[in-house]
Structure 1
Amino acid sequence: MARQPALSASLQPTLGAHRRLMAGLIPEAGFHAAPLDGVTFMRADANTTPAPVLQEPSIVLLGQGLKRSYLDGEVLAYAPGEILVVALPMQFDCDTVVQPGQPMLALSVRIDMAVVAELACQMDPLPPLPPGAPSAHARGLSVAPMDAALADALTRLLEVLGDAEASRVLGPQLLRELHYRVLQGPAGTGLRALAASQGRLGRVFRSIEQMRADPARELSVAALARDAGMSVSAFHEAFKRVTGHAPLQYLKLTRLHLARSWMLDHDLGAAEAAYRVGYGSASQFSREFKRLFGLPPSAARSQPVVPA
């Protein structure tokens, strides 16, 4: 097994409880919807090779195993005792590492930006950064250690997810607490800045919303930079720092991921999916689809979807 995070001895019993609870809740490999909106169980019984993912804003917590995300030459590995926070839609490669007989067990919670904004308004403001200091939330993808309060909130959430009524009655408040605990920690600073529409993260997020609202629309970097109130060079640098991709590269990847999703979820043919995301050439779409996913669009249904 690859490296494990350094954890305090006091946290080990709680992490053991997470592992046992997740094992009971996720008996089979794959994705499984929890009885609470926005929560997904994930299990992998074998190692996986790096595969491209489009990850929506989410909090990912592992009970067992190791996950690795690859973005712009950087590797972010996370294991039990750590959390992955995806503050805005991110595109990266991801793989899974397991030990024999010990499947990867994880829980993904969709980030509710309305809850984030409400909580952020009630929290003390973040202290200003010293002049010249690098931003702790410059990228939309971050890994951070889990503290005791967050670990306890996760335990209580897992305990109610095994019961539909308890999930319905208690789940929403537990998700709210989970959001709060994340916002309190180092992985939450980006979300708080995003909620306040501050800094490069907020500006890039608004540009991404434009891309996703109408993926077939022709967009130029100059127009996106103007809408963000930045020069073209500053916008390009900020966008790549936050997402790991240049703006037009991110747009192309967004189109390909959305086309694949429509083919899988809505039984669209490749030509129709390509047209909907703005491709005028079916052959170009096929080439770029195969380059990203490793198989042509005609084989999309045979490709496993990989979680972060």
Structure 2
Amino acid sequence: MNLFGQLLESYIEHKGWHDLEGSRVTQIDNVSIYRSSTGNQRQPFTYQSGIIMLSQGKKNIHLGDRPVTYAANDYLVVGVPIPLECEAIPLDGKPLLGLSIRIEPQRLHRLVKKLEEQGVVEHYGHKPNQDSSGLQATTMDQSMLDSVVRLVKTLHNDVEATILGDALVSEIVYRALTGPEGRVLFDLAHHDGHYARIAKALSKLHQDYDQIITVQSLAEEANMSLSAFHNAFRKVTFESPLQYLKKVRLNKAKELIQIEGLRINDAARLVGYSSPSQFSREFKRHFNVPPRAV
């Protein structure tokens, strides 16, 4: 087991989270830990924006017909929430373990501004107007790994986590900004770029998914023509706007049924479906099981 994985196991032991399955927030704001002893077969899932790191196990994610694999000491930079299909695989009899960091807009803009003031953006090859697309796994270099290890060590001590945690999160975001996939975060910080405009439209979509949403209204939110919006949206999310909206609604409905115990018709209505039969058909097509089976 690598040091990153050892420290996460030690942290779980320290917190007494022996039954942890799934994600749980830590005492450092915007930092969550993930553990799964069994993994899961390929199934629909939504990756939230941020930096996602694995210390044990392997994940295969599928964006349409494009597979991406990441494993121990790899990380992903996710600029916007992306519906995808994910297969999680424990290895060597050990649970999957990982860490995720949500990137606050204020933190991102502050770091990007400082980098630009230092004149190093071109050095890292991250042009602000460069189109961003794709979701790539990146192996942590020694600097990123050292930063992550220090963060997990700090989680073991509540006083240190309170005093040092925020600075360590900024350090890791800085490492991601200056890493191979940092262009995603640079483009997100520049409101005039296509990536940032799509992010703005996605924010509206995730907030108002239960309302009547048209592609035209999303294009207006992004301040783009309809054709340019379609092209940029697909490049960022690998989905058409309507496909993306459907997946957001169905994933939310599954949460309402499975976690909150809502009746199927109530969940359908709350996510924006007026026809229960249409909801059931699309739910089964998306998850391969009817709503009553979740």
| Counterpart secondary structure, 2:279 | helix
1:99-138 equivalences in 2 (<5 Å): 99-124=91-116, 126-127=121-122, 135=130, 137-138=132-133
In structure 1, the partner of 2:179 is 185
Q: Which residue pairs with 1:57 in the alignment? A: 49
Secondary structure at the aligned position of 1:123 is classed as helix
State the identity as a percent. 33
Check the 8 A contact 1:91/1:253 in 2, yes or no: yes
Deviations for 1:141-168, whole angstroms, at most 9, x for unmatched residues? 3322212221111010010112333222
1:207 counterpart letter in structure 2:
A
Contact in 1 for aligned 2:112/2:186 (Cα 8 Å)? yes
Q: 21, 41, 50: which one pairs with 1:30?
A: 21
Distance 2:272 2:40 in 1: 32
> Which residue does 1:12 correspond to in 2?
none
Answer with 117-126 or 276-285: which moved more: 117-126
Deviations 1:39-94 (A, max 9, x none): 22222334531111112112111112211111021111112232111111111011
> What amino acid is aligned across from residue 44 of structure 1 in structure 2?
S
Of 152, 159, 172, which aligns to 2:153? 159
User: SS where residue 27 of structure 2 aligns?
Assistant: coil
Which amino acid is the alignment partner of residue 22 of structure 1? L
Match in the other structure for 1:17:
3
Corresponding residue SS for 2:2: helix
Structure 1 residue 207 displacement after superposition? 1.3
Residues 139-158 of structure 1 aligned to structure 2 (within 5 Å): 139=134, 141-158=135-152
How far did residue 186 of structure 1 move?
A: 1.8
- CA–CA distance in structure 2, aligned partners of residues 264 and 38 of structure 1: 25
| More divergent stretch after superposition (218-227 vs 237-246) | 218-227
Query: Normalising to structure 2: TM-score of the pair?
Result: 0.87
RMSD: 2.4
| Residue in structure 2 matched with residue 72 of structure 1 by the alignment | 64
- The farther-off stretch of 263-272 and 212-221 is 263-272
CA deviations 1:115-171 (Å, max 9, x no partner) are 1111111112633999xxx957223x3322212221111010010112333222221
Ranges in structure 1 where 5+ consecutive residues have no aligned partner: 1-14, 301-308
- 1:233, 1:83 → 2: CA distance? 33
Structure 2 residue runs of 5 or longer lacking an equivalent are 13-17
Question: Where does structure 1 differ by over 6 angstroms across 4 or more consecutive aligned residues?
Answer: none
AA aligned opposite 2:94: Q
Written as runs of structure 1 = structure 2, the 5 A alignment for 1:224-263 is 224-263=218-257
Give, in whole Å, the separation in 2 of the partners of 1:88 and 1:119.
18
1:86 and 1:142 in contact (8 A); partners too: no
Deviation of residue 295 (structure 1)? 2.5
Rounded Cα–Cα distance in structure 2 between residues aligned with 1:123 and 1:17? 30
Letter in 1 for 2:79: A
Counterpart Cα distance in 1 of 2:39 and 2:211: 39
Cα offsets for 1:154-198 (capped at 9, x unmatched): 010010112333222221221121111111112221112111124
Partners of 1:66 and 1:198 in 2: how far apart?
A: 36
8 Å CA contact 1:28–1:43 kept in 2: the answer is no
